[in-house]
Amino acid sequence: MKIKANHFLYAINILTAVLFSVIAFLPSNVLRIILGLPVVLFFPGYTLLAAFFPKKESLRDIERFALSFGVSIAVVPLIGLALNYTPWGIRLYPILISLFIFILAMSVTSWYRNRKLPDAEKISININVKTSSPSQLWSQQSARDKIITVGLALLVIGAIGALVYVATRPRSQEKFTEFYALNDQGNAENYPDTIHIGQSAQVILGIINHENVTTTYKIEITLDGNSAGEIGPVDVKTEQKFEQKYTITPAHKSDKQELLFSLYKGDSTDVYESLHLWINVPQ
Residue 45 sits in the same domain as residue 132: yes
Rounded to whole angstroms, what are the CA distances from 263 to 74, 85, 109, 230?
A: 46, 35, 60, 10
Predicted pLDDT at 183: 92
User: What confidence tens digit (pLDDT) does each residue in 2-25 have?
Assistant: 555 567 788 888 888 888 788 877
Which residue, of 108, 133, 168, is where some domain finishes? 168
Residue 231 sits in the same domain as residue 152: no
Residue 81 sits in the same domain as residue 37: yes
- Cα distance between residue 200 and residue 209, in whole Å: 29
Taking residue 12's Cβ as centre, other Cβ atoms within 10 Å add up to: 22
Can the peptide bond before residue 233 be classed as cis, meaning omega within 30 degrees of 0? yes
Which residue, of 107, 138, 168, is where some domain finishes? 168
Q: Residue 83: which H helix or E strand, with range?
A: helix 61-84
Identify which has the larger pLDDT, 45 or 217.
Answer: 217
Residue 264 sits in the same domain as residue 187: yes
User: What confidence tens digit (pLDDT) does each residue in 223-260 have?
Assistant: 988 999 999 899 999 989 999 999 999 888 888 899 99
Predicted pLDDT at 141: 63
Residue 225 sits in the same domain as residue 114: no
Indicate the range of 7-11, 94-98, 150-154, 216-220 predicted with least confidence: 150-154
Residue 139 sits in the same domain as residue 272: no
Q: Residue 275 belongs to a domain with what CATH number?
A: 2.60.40.10
Residues with Cβ within 8 Å of residue 216, at least 6 apart in sequence:
232, 233, 234, 235, 236, 265, 266, 267
Residue 152 sits in the same domain as residue 224: no
Residue of 125, 119, 5, 111 whose CA lies nearest to 62: 125
Identify which has the larger pLDDT, 162 or 31.
Answer: 31
- Residue 4 has what DSSP assignment? E
Predicted pLDDT at 202: 93
Residue 187 sits in the same domain as residue 267: yes
b/e for 163-172, b at 16 or more Cβ within 10 A? eeeeeeeeee
- Cα distance between residue 231 and residue 136, in whole Å: 79
Per the structure, the count of domains in the chain is 2
Which residue, of 130, 151, 168, is where some domain finishes? 168
Q: Answer yes or no: is pLDDT of 160 > 80.
A: no
Identify which has the larger pLDDT, 7 or 106.
Answer: 106
Domain that holds residue 189: 176-281
Residue 22 sits in the same domain as residue 156: yes
User: What confidence tens digit (pLDDT) does each residue in 47-81 have?
Assistant: 888 888 877 777 777 777 878 888 888 888 888 88
Calculate the average pLDDT of the chain: 81
Predicted pLDDT at 274: 93
Predicted pLDDT at 179: 94
